[in-house]
Structures are given as C-alpha cells and as structure tokens.
Structure 1
Amino acid sequence: MIIESVPAWPSIVLALILVGDALLSLRPAPFIAECLSGVKLPRDWWWALILIKTLAATGLLVGLWVPGVGIAAMVGVIAYFLAAAAAHVRAGFLGSAFWVNCLSMLALSVAALALTLAL
C-alpha cells in the first residue's frame, strides 16, 4: 500500500520552511553559522546541508502528485533532524540553538508526518 500526502498542507508548510532554511544557509545567518560550527561540521560540508534541504523540499512537493514520495521525504527530513540532534548531543552543543532550532524542526517534521497519516 502506497500512502499519499493527503492533506497537502503539512507537506507544503514543511517544504516552505525547508526552502527558507536553505536560503538562510546560502550566506549563513549568524545563528546558523554558530550552530554548524558548534557541532563541529567542517565548513567545506555546509553546502551539503543546503542541497539536502532543497532535495527534501522538492520531494515533499513532488509527493503531492506522486504517491509515496512525500511520505518518504518526510521520513527523510525526520532522519535528518534526528542526525542533527545527535550531532548536537555528541558535540555537547546544547544551548538554545539545540532546543529552539534543532528540536523544534524535528517536532515540526514529526507533526507534519503525523498529521498526514492521521487525517
């Protein structure tokens, strides 16, 4: 059974937030640069996060027309933010960036998936 991204609005909201996050990361806003440095991600790899977020947003939007793709993209976004949370814990970078940015994005991603599956 392939699960569709219905209703569409959780996918659209999450995609828009990820696009905004990717745009803020092009010339990293100070709080993003501080976060990436805090988890000790080499600056040479910062571009990969922009690519991942852009591909995730694309997958969420494609999933509105192609069954299964949106759900897979949501699961991927959750995995991404679980990995980000693990990086924060491993680096001991547990300030407000962890609690406000990282965990709120994880919660938002989980909520989007839960709403899509529940409604």
Structure 2
Amino acid sequence: MIHAPEPWWLPALLALSLFADALMSIRPPKFIQQCLDGVRFPRDWWWTLIAIKLAATAGLLVGLKYPGIGLATVVGVIAYFTCAAYSHYRARFLGYEFWINCLGMLTLSVAAAVPYVA
C-alpha cells in the first residue's frame, strides 16, 4: 500500500527544486545553456523541459494529498534524471554539471521516493 509521504518535506523540496529549475529555464543562464548544449539537446526542444518540470512540480504537490500520484510522479522524475545522466555519459559531458546538477537531482529524486515506499 502507498502511504502519504512522511517526511512530507522531501517531495516538497524536490517540487520546489524542479519549479525553480523550470523558471530558470525560461531564460536559461549560461550554466544551463552549456549543460543542454553539452549533451547536444536541440534548442528547438528546450521548451519541453520546462513543461516536464512544471508537470512534475504539480504532480509532486498533488501527491502530498494523493500518494499514488506522488509516487508515480517521483518515479517519472527518477526516470527523467536517469535519462539525463545517460545523456551526459553518452556525450562525454562529465564536468561539474553532471556531478552536481544531474546526479544531485537524481539523488534528491530517489530520496523523495523513499517516504512513499518506506
């Protein structure tokens, strides 16, 4: 059975991080541009990342009340950052962006999943 997340602040922190990332991606600062260019993600598709992160934010917040939605969302976020990590690896773009941003968010995502299944 899926339980309401306890502690609730882990999924909330992930939601806040994704929301901030989505807002920054509207007019991406240089480090975000370098990251997306480094993995060769087409500029014409950058808008999709904003939509994905905003949808994930909403799913995580709704998931605080409806745990099934929260668990499904956090599994999707884990898949997203796993794909991002693979993209970094495949492009051989393994600088600090990979270690701090990509793997850091993947770690936070896994941590946010724990309250749903513990």
Do both proteins adopt the same fold according to a TM-score greater than 0.5, normalized to the shorter chain?
Answer: yes
Partner of 1:57: 57
Residue 116 of structure 1 and its aligned partner are, at CA, apart by 4.0
- Structure 1: segments with no counterpart, 5+ residues: none
Give the % identical residues: 58
Query: What is the RMSD computed on CA atoms of the aligned residues?
Result: 1.2
- Structure 2: segments with no counterpart, 5+ residues: none
Partner of 2:89: 89
* Conserved? CA contact 1:56–1:73, under 8 Å: yes
Distance 1:6 1:68 in 2: 14
TM-score by length of 2: 0.94
Partner of 2:100: 100
Residue 7 of structure 1 and its aligned partner are, at CA, apart by 3.0
Residue 27 of structure 1 and its aligned partner are, at CA, apart by 0.1
Distance 2:113 2:81 in 1: 13
Taking the TM superposition and a 5 Å limit, the aligned residue runs for 1:1-119 are: 1-118=1-118
Residue 2 of structure 1 and its aligned partner are, at CA, apart by 3.6
Distance 2:65 2:114 in 1: 19
* Conserved? CA contact 1:3–1:71, under 8 Å: no
Aligned length: 118
Secondary structure of 1:68's aligned partner: helix
TM-score by length of 1: 0.93
Secondary structure of 2:67's aligned partner: coil
